[in-house]
C-alpha cells in the first residue's frame, strides 16, 4: 500500500520547479493532490500530464496573496475531496538586487506571496485539520532564511520571517496533532535559483520533494520541525 493512500494535499506554487516536484511525489505515494498556481493555463497543462501518468492530481487557479482566492481554494478542496490532510506552502517570489534599487512594489510583492500567502493558507487550513484530528503543514523556506546574502535583503527577510512564523505556529497547533515542518533548501537546480549552479552535486526539485515525503510519512509520534537541504559539494 502506498504511504499516503487517500490523503488529500494542497501544494501552492505547484505549476513548476519545486512545487511541481512535490506534487508529483505526493501523488506517487497515493495522495490526492491539488496543485494551486496563479496561471490557469499552465496549471492545466501540468495536471493533464500528471493525470496521463495515472496520478490523482487536480489543478486550481489561486493567488495565495489574495484572501478570497485562498478561501475559494480551500473551500473547493474540502467540498470535493472531503478534507485536507497536507498543506505545502511552497509558493514564493524573489527579487535580488540592492536595497536602494528595489522598488516598493517588488518588496511588497515578496511579502505578499512569501509571508501573507503562508499566513492565509495556514489560517484557512488549520480549522479543518483540527476538526479531522490532525494533519501536516509544510513550509518551503530557504537557507536564505538563515544566511544573509548580498542583494538578497528583501527575499532573505521574508524567509527569516517565515521560519519565525512556522516555529511559533508549531507550538500552537501541535496539541491538535498537526505537525509543522519547515524545509530550508539551499541551491536547487530550478529556473528560480540565483546561484546558477548545475550538475550532479546540485539538489533537484525531486530531492526537496523527497524531504517533504520523508517528513509527512514519519510516524505520528515524531515531527521533523526543520530540515536543511544542501548540495553535497560547495
**Which residues does the annotation mark as catalytic?**
155
Measured distance between the N- and C-terminal CA atoms of the chain, rounded to whole angstroms: 38
CA distance linking residue 215 with residue 166, whole number of Å: 15
47-to-37, 40, 60, 171, 206 alpha-carbon distances in Å: 11, 11, 10, 35, 17
80-to-83, 159, 206 alpha-carbon distances in Å: 8, 32, 28
E strand spans, 20-166: 32-37, 57-61, 86-89, 135-140
CA nearest 159: which of 187, 181, 139? Answer: 139
Strand order in the sheet with 135-140: 57-61, 32-37, 8-12, 86-89, 135-140, 178-185, 226-229
CA distance linking residue 24 with residue 45, whole number of Å: 14
Amino acid at each position: 500500500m502506498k504511504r499516503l493512500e487517500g490523503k488529500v494535499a494542497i501544494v501552492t506554487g505547484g505549476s513548476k520547479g519545486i512545487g511541481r516536484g512535490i506534487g508529483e511525489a505526493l501523488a506517487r505515494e497515493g495522495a490526492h493532490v491539488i496543485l494551486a498556481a496563479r496561471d490557469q493555463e499552465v496549471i492545466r497543462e501540468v495536471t493533464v500530464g500528471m493525470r496521463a501518468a495515472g496520478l490523482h492530481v487536480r489543478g486550481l487557479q489561486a493567488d495565495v496573496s489574495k484572501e478570497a482566492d485562498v478561501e475559494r481554494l480551500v473551500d473547493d478542496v474540502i467540498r470535493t475531496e472531503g478534507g485536507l490532510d497536507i498543506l505545502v506552502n511552497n509558493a514564493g517570489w524573489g527579487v535580488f538586487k540592492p536595497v536602494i534599487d528595489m522598488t516598493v512594489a517588488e518588496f511588497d510583492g515578496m511579502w505578499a506571496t512569501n509571508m501573507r500567502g503562508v499566513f492565509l493558507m495556514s489560517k484557512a487550513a488549520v480549522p479543518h485539520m483540527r476538526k479531522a484530528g490532525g494533519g501536516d503543514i509544510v513550509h518551503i523556506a530557504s537557507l536564505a532564511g538563515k544566511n544573509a546574502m548580498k542583494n538578497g535583503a528583501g527575499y532573505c527577510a521574508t524567509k527569516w520571517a517565515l521560519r519565525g512564523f512556522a516555529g511559533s505556529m508549531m507550538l500552537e497547533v501541535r496539541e491538535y496533532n498537526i505537525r509543522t515542518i519547515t524545509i530550508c533548501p539551499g541551491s536547487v537546480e530550478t529556473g528560480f535559483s540565483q546561484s546558477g549552479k548545475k550538475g550532479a552535486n546540485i539538489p533537484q526539485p525531486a530531492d526537496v520533494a523527497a524531504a517533504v515525503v520523508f517528513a509527512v510519512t514519519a510516524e505520528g509520534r515524531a515531527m521533523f520541525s526543520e530540515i536543511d537541504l544542501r548540495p553535497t559539494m560547495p
